[in-house]
């Protein structure tokens, strides 16, 4: 059974940093790309970023709203994807979800399984 468990959320002051983890089980983690999404309270879904598998270079993509502040990485030996969030702003307050992203066809990735999410609150 595929499981994704996010952790590391909490209350943090503006300008500070936080690192989220997404621990995966039930599949061969290293074979998959992973994504992070977020959902502000009472709002819709927003894509945050993405990391390819090592077989495809392990490269990353980011939303404009977080580029330069957030970094996604992965540790395939531990089956964990990370979201390092620096210079946090109040508008980063949201539930953060990770997803598994199998490659499809020859070009794109489709997020299929979602974790339960972890809440990040940025406030003084």
Partner 1 sequence: DIVMTQTPLSSPVTLGQPASISCRSSQSLVHSDGNTYLSWLQQRPGQPPRLLIYKISNRFSGVPDRFSGSGAGTDFTLKISRVEAEDVGVYYCMQATQFPRTFGPGTKVDIK
Binding site for partner 1 (CB under 8 A): 35, 37, 44-47, 50, 61, 63-64, 97, 104-117
CA dihedral 62, 65, 69, 75 (to 10 degrees): -30
The residue with tokens 């990040």 is: 120
Which of 70, 109 has the CB closer to partner 1?
109
Which of 32, 97 has the CB closer to partner 1?
97
**Whole-number minimum distance, CB 115 to partner 1, in Å?**
7
Residue 74's alpha-carbon distances to 3, 27, 54, 58, 80, in angstroms, are 16, 15, 9, 8, 6
Which of 13, 104 has the CB closer to partner 1?
104
**Whole-number minimum distance, CB 76 to partner 1, in Å?**
22
How far is it, in rounded angstroms, from Cα 107 to Cα 119?
32
**Whole-number minimum distance, CB 11 to partner 1, in Å?**
21
Which of 34, 117 has the CB closer to partner 1?
117
**Whole-number minimum distance, CB 42 to partner 1, in Å?**
11
How far is it, in rounded angstroms, from Cα 6 to Cα 31?
19
């Amino acid at each position: 059974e595929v499981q994704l468990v996010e952790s590391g959320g909490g209350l943090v002051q503006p300008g500070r940093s936080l690192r989220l983890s997404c621990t995966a089980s039930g599949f061969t983690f290293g074979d998959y790309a992973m994504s992070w999404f977020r959902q502000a309270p009472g709002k819709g879904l927003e894509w945050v970023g993405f990391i390819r598998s090592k077989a495809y270079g392990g490269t990353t993509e980011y939303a404009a709203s977080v580029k330069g502040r957030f970094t996604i990485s992965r540790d395939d030996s531990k089956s964990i994807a990370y979201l390092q969030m620096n210079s946090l702003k109040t508008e980063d307050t949201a539930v953060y979800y990770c997803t598994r992203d199998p490659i499809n066809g020859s070009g794109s990735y489709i997020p299929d399984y979602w974790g339960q999410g972890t809440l990040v609150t940025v406030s003084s």
